[in-house]
Chains A and B, each alone.
Chain A
Amino acid sequence: MNTLPEVPLSRREMLLGLGALVVGAVVPLPGRSGRLLGAEAATGPLVANAFVCIAPDSTVTVLSPNIELGQGPFTGLATLVADELDADWSQMRAAHAPADARLYANPTFGVQGTGGSTSMYVGYESLRKAGAAARALIVAAAAQSWDVPAAEITIERGVVRHAGSGRSGSFGDFVAPAGQLTPPAEPVLKTPDRFIYIGRPLPKLDTRAKTDGSAQYTLDVYRDDMLIAVVAHAPKFGATVASFDDAAARRVRGVVDVRGTDFGVAVYATSTWAALRGRQALAVRWNEAAAELRSTAAIEAEALALVRSRGQVAAERGALDAALAAGHQLIEAEYTFPYLAHAPLEPLDAVIERRGDLIEVWMGSQIQTGDQMVIAQVCGVKPGQVRLNTMLTGGSFGRRAQQGSQFAAEAAAVFMAAGGRRPVKLFWTREDDIRGGFYRPQMVHRLRGAIDAEGRIVAWEQVIAGRSILTGSTFEGAMVNGIDQTMVEGAADLPYAVPNLQVSVHVTKSPVPVLWWRSVGHTHTGYVVETFIDELLERAGKDPIAGRIELLADQPRMAGVLRRVAEISQWDSPPPAGRARGVAVVYSFNSWVAEVAEVSIGPAGEPRVHKVWCAVDCGRAVNPDIVAAQMEGGIGYGLGAGLYGAITLDEGGSVRQSNFHDYRSLRIGEAPEIEVAIMPSAERPTGVGEPGTPPIMPAVANALRRLTGKPARQLPLVQRG
């Protein structure tokens, strides 16, 4: 039986952080928690520590504190353990760890959660230690069983050996005796020259289950007697239910209940189709007193007025005004960015069931501690009574990492509103998702730059206006000097040596909820900085790559990825006729990524991106193939959004888009060929899930400017007709 986590975290503790991960703590196997990919949980396993569980059949299951949503932590964390354990890759498995902040808090946030592209950065220490500790237990148990000195025991590819006596065995042989031993407090880690798996493109552990339909996502969870619920959500942000008539809905065959909740009107049915038809048959009157009724065009106009004046200063150096006044050439530019939905292919969903005094939940939870606490609160139990099973999930891109856990709160409210007895699966349709808010904020930037008579960039003024993600959220404690760093990251820390600089912000307000979206502030700051510097360099008569490198004297790793991308793209040779190349480089999540895009204008007048070259410096690449895959994915995700993506509100406040027919996504024929080069490095591994995204759109826009002679300062580039 699993020990339930007592997680009485106060909000203050969440914000201050809970401290380091507990390595070597013994927890019972949460066998019921994650589906052990490729293997059933055997009886009597060795739980070496919070992260490593070895079964009598010698399979090694790594418990991932991070959610696997396609970015690869199952494989990456298992690689770290397998290397220190000297296991054979074929015996490795991975599953989600249970929700327990005491054991699995991410030191970056102080709670259990996945974000900021931190899984490998954090795991590089904790998971290797866990693997080394497990190895020490196996060695000690073997030494005891064979009555030989531990120092004479070797492990190679999962085979435990004592050369002197000719004895050998497998991990499973020592599971029982090892369980009686105390793991070492400070296990000795390998030196990198002895790594056997780290740095190699090992096959991913979860691929096979994702090619035969057997991988289990939240939507695939069916419990006995379960109801399927859909919610009629308010058509405008901030509106609430005034009244509703459910007579017609209740007549739909299969509909068993209809209930009002704080999140809308919930329809419960024995099948998904009945729930959807029941929702269609509802008549709801909404109270729009607190609703956003403005259009996004009106909100944008307000932000454009704001950037005419300086806001709260986030960064400043030199004497900006004097430098602007003395500049030989002055360039001004305004940029606008729309709201963006994340649109993970599996929309939000959760299953909740009551079992005795426990609440059991299945969901693609990205901030397990927050979701667990909120569900406990809504269900009237202690957090330790909420058993949260983190599921494989059909993408997130930030959507499932909700500060405030509103979706978990909705799922719990819907479960409780129906009586809190029958299991309930809450299912969001694509329309719920596209119109559900928690968007990348709509943003506006105003730039002024000056070049002196010698062609040096001497002044940089950037005024940013838009929504703050952190203000008023559970992560408000992460603000620095009252400024939400997610609004200015990448700009306030401008990497280029411009002597006179000022970056300031205006925060706008709206009931439209906003959220981090793959690479967060860099989605707009990366675009602005990298297209504006490109224009300034062009005016100064400099090459885009050489000119950038000149300004990066104290940024060797940034200059390094630029040089590398110049090599692989053959930057110095001209592109084919009708095409142009553009470059961009962005530092985000502790990694440096430079991209070159080769672009033409297609027959329908839309930009066509033929090829992208990418150079990434993410420290030591634990699995280079996953690094490459994340660059490819980050590029495709950013490209689709930058070319086509926009959520707009009509006058009156209704979201215009509803599904993939009008929230256009990148399709295969629009996806470029991508070549990725990974910089060799002995530094600690850093982020790869997000950093591939920011450079792609400025690289494309810079190429387009060369083709058309006009800068592109409004996203998306393909405007709706």
Chain B
Amino acid sequence: MTIVLNVNGVERTVDVDSDTPLLWVLRDELRLTGTKYGCGIAQCGACTVQIDGRPVRSCVTPVAQVAGQPIVTIEGVTGPEADAVREAWVQHDTPQCGYCQSGQILAAEALLRATPRPTDADIDTAMAGNLCRCATYPRIRQAIKTAARTLEGRRS
């Protein structure tokens, strides 16, 4: 069926079965390959995108369910939080293989918009769904804290 999506602020029309997971529509149809497959059952977070600003696992989200809603992927995430998160990721040289990092960054960006000064417990909760098999967790934690400080500095 024909479905109209709003991806990174742009309307995109796709012709797919309505139960196709958003992940495969983004990748196979729209060639937005920054969103990754890792498990297909919402256990690893590699496929994390934002819908209406909130992190969502695109591998279990039927595409028809999000028609018309604002979808943001790693290719399109912008704004002060996104900038601060990316800068902090670079500063701490966080990625190793890098495969999970699109999902990590989208989850971290959403965390900082909702909770500008996250505690360790906030980070544990918000990032619990994002696996990193390279175990870059200590740097993810540090980078989130660095980004939070950067944002605070820029606000004041």
Q: Taking beta carbons and an 8 Å cutoff, which residues of A are in contact with B?
A: 69-72, 203-204, 206-217, 219-220, 222, 228, 253, 271-273, 343-347, 392-395, 397, 429-430, 625, 629, 632-633, 635-637, 639-640, 659-661, 665-669, 671-674
Contact = CB atoms under 8 A, between A and B. Distances in A.
24 contacts: A70-B134, A203-B90, A207-B94, A210-B98, A212-B86, A219-B27, A222-B28, A253-B17, A271-B24, A271-B29, A272-B37, A344-B97, A346-B38, A347-B37, A629-B96, A632-B138, A636-B132, A636-B135, A660-B39, A660-B44, A660-B131, A668-B123, A671-B135, A671-B137
B86 A668 contact: no
Residue among B20, B44, B86, B99 facing the most chain A CB atoms (10 A cut-off): B99
A518 to B, nearest CB: 10
Nearest to B41: A659
A675 to B, nearest CB: 10
A344 B136 contact: no
B95 to A, nearest CB: 4
Contact of A669 (B17, B38, B74, B124): B124
Interface in B109-152: 123-125, 127-128, 130-141
Contacts of A674: 138
A273 B21 contact: yes
B50 interface: no
B134 A637 contact: yes
Contact of A214 (B27, B34, B40, B128): B34
A668 B97 contact: no
A70 B32 CA distance: 22
Contacts of B90: 203, 207-208, 211
A272 B38 contact: no
Contacts of B138: 632, 671-674
A272 B25 CA distance: 9
A347 B102 CA distance: 16
A632 B35 contact: no
A426 to B, nearest CB: 14
B93 interface: yes
A665 B41 contact: no
Contact of B33 (A207, A220, A344, A629): A220
B16 interface: yes
A346 B44 CA distance: 11
B109 to A, nearest CB: 11
A219 B37 contact: yes
Nearest to B144: A668
Nearest to B102: A213
B21 A69 contact: no
A635 B33 contact: no
Contacts of B28: 222, 228, 271-273
A254 to B, nearest CB: 8
A146 B39 CA distance: 60
A212 B89 CA distance: 11
A611 to B, nearest CB: 10
